[in-house]
Amino acid sequence: WAMSGGAMPPYIIPGPFEEGNTDWLKDGDVVVSVAAKSGTTWMLFCSHQIRVKGNDEEFPYGDVSLSTPWPEFIQTPGDDWEIQKEKYNTTILPDGTTYKNYWDNPGYPFRVFKSHNHAESFGNLIGDKNLRKKNIRFLAMTRYGLDQIASMVPFFLSHSSEFRNLWGGFPPASSAPIRELAKERLEQCKPGGIWFDQFFPYVNSWWKVKDEDNVLFLHYTDAKNDLPGTVSKLAKFFGIDLTEKEHEKIVEKCGFKYMKDRENMFEYTLPLNPDIQGTVMMKGGLIRKGEHGDGKEYFTEQEKDEWHKIEE
C-alpha cells in the first residue's frame, strides 16, 4: 500500500467532520474523540451503557462498529465518505437486521461516534455557541505518554491477517522482539514521528477548549481510579439521570472484567464490507489489561528520561 503512494493509515480519511460536510450529524450527538490507545473503546462502551441505562436486553451492544461507529474509518478500499455514508443508512446485516438500527436506534437519547481528532478538526462545532450550527458534545481523554506508547506495541501486532490483506499488508506484521518494537514505537511518538500528533498536540488542542460547555476532557488514570465517579460525570455531561441501581449496573459493565469476558464485542467487525466476514482485531487483541503503568515494563531508564525531557 505504501509503495503505491497510499496514505498511512490507508483506511482513515478526512471528511465526515469537516466544515460544510456535517449534515449527517444531529443535535445531541456525542463524539468520543479520545487520543489513540488512551481508552477510546472503553469510553465508547461506557457512553453506550449510559445512554441505554444498562439495558442490554432492549439495546444490545453488538460490536463497536455496529453501535458506536467510526465515520472516518473506511471499511472497503476505494470507498470515500459519500459512499460509506450511504451504506450507513442502507446496509442489511447477514441476520436480516438493519445496520442503521444499531447506531441510529430511535430509542437512543443520543448517538455515539468514534474519532481521534484534535479539537480544531471539528471547526465551529466547538466554541462560540452563537456560531455552532449543531449542538454536538465531545468527549476527549488523554493518558500518561509512556503507557500510551506501551499500548501501541502489541496493538499493531493484534490486527487480523484478513484485515492486513485487505489493506495491502498494513499495519505491517513483525516478528521482532518486543523490546525492539517498543523502541521503534517510542521514536515514532517523539516530535517529528508519525504518531506524535496523538500526544502533545492532541493534549494542547483539547486543553484550549476544555472549559467549553460541550466538551468533557478526562485523563485515563483519573477515570480508571474512580470509575463510579467517571460514570456519574459522563451521565451528567450527557444529560442522563440514573437511579442508584442503574448507576451500579453501568459501573459493573464498564469495568475491565465485564468487558474482558465479552471481548468479542470489541474486535471491530466490518459491517459495511460484505466480502469480509472477519474482524479488524484478533481475539483478545484490544481488551488487554485495563491497567495503567505499562510504560514501566517496556522502556529502559534512559528511554524514560528522554521522554520526560520531552514532556518538560
Does position 125 have pLDDT exceeding 70, yes or no? yes
Confidence category of residue 132, pLDDT binned at 50, 70, 90 = confident
279-303 pLDDT per residue, tens: 999 876 565 555 555 666 788 889 8
Q: What is the mean pLDDT of the chain?
A: 89
29 phi/psi in degrees, rounded to 5:
-60, 150
End-to-end CA distance of the chain: 37
Contact 115, 68 (CB under 8 A): no
Does position 143 have pLDDT exceeding 60, yes or no? yes
Cα–Cα distance for residue pair 89/271, rounded to 1 Å: 12
72-99 pLDDT per residue, tens: 999 999 999 999 999 999 999 999 999 9
Among candidates 103, 131, 111, which has minimal Cα distance to 19?
Answer: 131
Contact 14, 96 (CB under 8 A): no
pTM of the predicted model as reported, rounded to 2 decimal places = 0.93
Cα–Cα distance for residue pair 125/36, rounded to 1 Å: 21
